[in-house]
Chain A
Amino acid sequence: MKAYTIEKNYLEILLDQFLKKFKVYGPTKSGLDSTFDEIKSSTDLHLDYKSTVLPPKKFFHPPKQTLFKFTIQKKKHIIQESKNDEKFILFGVHPCDVHAILKLDKFFSGEFKDNYYQNRRKNSIIVALNCNQPGEHSFCKSMNAGPFLKEGYDILLTDIGTKYLLEIGSNKGKKLIEDLELSVASNRDVAEKEKKCKLSDKKIKKILDPFWLPTLAEENLDHEIWVDLGERGGVAGSFSCLSCGSCSLVCPTCYCYDIYDTLDLSLKHGSRIRELDSCQLLEYGEVALGGNFRKERKERIRHWMFCKFGAAAGDKNSSCVGCGRCIRVCPSKIDITKVAKELRRRK
């Protein structure tokens, strides 16, 4: 589709146009770190960010969400739908996170559809932003998920100096800007994007060959590295895993959730809630009579790594996109790329 350019100061007007019709969520910087939050005016927007703490997954698969509300009566239970029909624009999402959303799209469809996710996704428009400043932990290039985006966006912005190159990726995106007068991009602008893309590629220092990851998982189920990682002081400069669950909390493709019920004081009204869960927590595999299918810490960290390698039940739909968030937040400095390399080396 067609490409346009937009002056950087003009972005404010573009945003105001969006705000008239939709809620807009985008990267803000309220403290030291960037975070995706509601954008009320262009001053809130902070597009010059490396990575947010939490991925934009939270808008589609919220950390905590009511599945339905219910009322218990003697001979009847009433189940009330809980739906969020808010239409929103996700502004300034980096390619790695867009790829994670594409993976979750596949995960939450299939034989059993997840209405909650699909509904939120249907009501969303993605304005992606190509990543000119990949962070020190990013390895999106290796995972084929960045730093520049090829698919999955409605509108794609690329910073090309004084202007943004604006590309349209879907009819949703086309409709969004049809009222605006934008100048058509010249060949020079497009060439500038290519240049930026190459520059950005070079900034990524972490490289990993993703093709041997699933086989790596298959072959190393009983590798000593998992004991090292779980109990014996870590691997490749890290400490032992603490099972804190931070990695899965910040992972843009981690989907696991817990479901539980709450009741109010009358014991008549309540709701069924789902909340993000983590395979790193001890309770994750617990069953009745004190059984636990993931009792050992090494089993839990191994499972998470395999899941990110694309060798667990989520298959490629829960595998890593290389955003580097888990490496950044891990209190034990566990680096998934280093573990993969170490597995390969110690074979």
Chain B
Amino acid sequence: MLNEYYPSLAIIKEIKKETYNTNTFALDFFDSTLTNDFSWTPGQFMMLSVLGVGESAISISDVDNDNLISVTIRNVGNVTNSLFSFKKDDIFGMRGPYGTGWPLKEIKGKDILLIAGGMGMASLRGVIHYIMNHRKEYDYFEIIYGARTPDDMIFKYEFDVWRKIKNSTLHLTADEIPGKNPFECRTGLVTSCFPMMNIHHRNAVALVCGPEIMMRYAAKCLETIGFADKQIYLSLERRMKCGIGKCGHCQIGVNYVCKDGPVFNYADIKPFIRPL
């Protein structure tokens, strides 16, 4: 019987620096059958384990044509800290993908509003790539990306590509701009971009990922400008130990974030994330 708790060995193929404390790792399973069979939906996550340190749930930010899995990690805890000491070709444990992912099939034909805060972009980058590759299946596309400072933004090298996506807008905003401002960021929270939004709520869906406080405000503001709860999707963060809906830590209401989420329809979880 297959044991879900055993991590499979994986190797670091490439490390790319995103910000002073964030890196993107390109990972590959040791076992080539696992690499070949890998299939995913943007929004899903992997359980990365450094044996001897622990295990962490990390969003997949992209999977390329060779099934190399990109994960973007900020150095904040024990596991991520030890991952940052790893170099190219080092090995560690990985299992997944887990979770449901963004409802890309269900939202075909709609205007897509994508709101990302800080590291939340890691989970949504897959959506951007998917929409770029299937541009005709979706209507107007609008990205609002906010971070603490322009330096804290991840995937900066892709902004120019995103700006060129047909029929789309990219808004960048930062809480404060202490130094240079190379991508013409506005100052303000993500919600401050709402008045300039081109999308009308009539045929739109909002995909939101970021710190929970930002998502609460964003969801509340979307409501005031006419979005119905059902039109808003959020990707939540919780403490996770198993990733398979057994350890109990990630419960929200009657759902497990790891198994039934991490992407939820706002209507389903509204009472539990305490709307303001």
Contact = CB atoms under 8 A, between A and B. Distances in A.
Interface of A: 67-68, 70, 72, 75-77, 79, 81, 107-108, 110-115, 118, 221, 255-263, 267, 270, 272, 274, 277, 279, 284-289, 291, 293, 303, 307, 311-315
A283 to B, nearest CB: 9
A312 B259 contact: no
Nearest to A81: B3
Contact of A115 (B1, B76, B92): B1
B186 interface: no
A338 B271 CA distance: 25
Contacts, number: 117
Contact of A258 (B80, B241, B252, B260): B241
18 contacts: A75-B91, A77-B91, A108-B246, A111-B259, A112-B4, A112-B245, A114-B246, A115-B4, A115-B5, A257-B242, A259-B247, A284-B249, A285-B239, A286-B239, A289-B76, A293-B239, A303-B251, A315-B254
Given A257-B246, A259-B54, 16 more contacts: A67-B5, A70-B51, A75-B91, A77-B9, A77-B92, A79-B7, A118-B1, A221-B271, A255-B246, A272-B51, A279-B251, A285-B239, A291-B237, A293-B238, A311-B254, A313-B256
B19 interface: no
B248 A270 contact: no
Contacts of B246: 107-108, 112, 114, 255, 257
A284 B54 contact: no
B93 interface: yes
Contacts of A112: 4, 244-246, 259
Interface residues of B, number: 41
A258 B246 CA distance: 10
A25 B4 CA distance: 29
B192 interface: no
Contact of B239 (A115, A257, A284): A284
B249 A256 contact: yes
Contacts of A68: 3, 5-6
B55 interface: yes
A261 B52 contact: yes
Contacts of A221: 271-272
Given A111-B259, A288-B77, A313-B254, A277 B248 contact: yes
Given A111-B259, A313-B253, A313-B254, A256 B4 contact: no
B225 interface: no
A72 B52 contact: yes
B191 interface: no
Contacts of B53: 261
A302 B8 CA distance: 38
B255 interface: yes
A225 B74 CA distance: 40
Contacts of B245: 110-112, 313
A98 B249 CA distance: 25
Contact of B248 (A77, A113, A288, A314): A314
B70 to A, nearest CB: 20
Nearest to A314: B248
Contacts of A76: 9, 91
B249 A72 contact: no
Contacts of A279: 248, 251
B249 to A, nearest CB: 6
B237 A256 contact: no
Contacts of B238: 285, 287, 293
A287 B239 contact: yes
A22 to B, nearest CB: 23
B9 A277 contact: no
A126 to B, nearest CB: 22
Interface in B145-181: none
Contacts of B9: 76-77
Contacts of B51: 70, 72, 77, 261, 270, 272
Nearest to A112: B244
Interface string B263-276: 00000000110000
Which residue of B92, B244, B253, B271 has the most chain A CB atoms within 10 A of its CB atom? B253
A185 B170 CA distance: 80
Nearest to A75: B91
B6 A257 contact: no
Contact of B255 (A108, A287, A313): A313
Contacts of A256: 247-249
Nearest to B76: A288
Contacts of A285: 238-239, 249
A114 to B, nearest CB: 6
Contacts of B93: 77
A313 B251 contact: yes
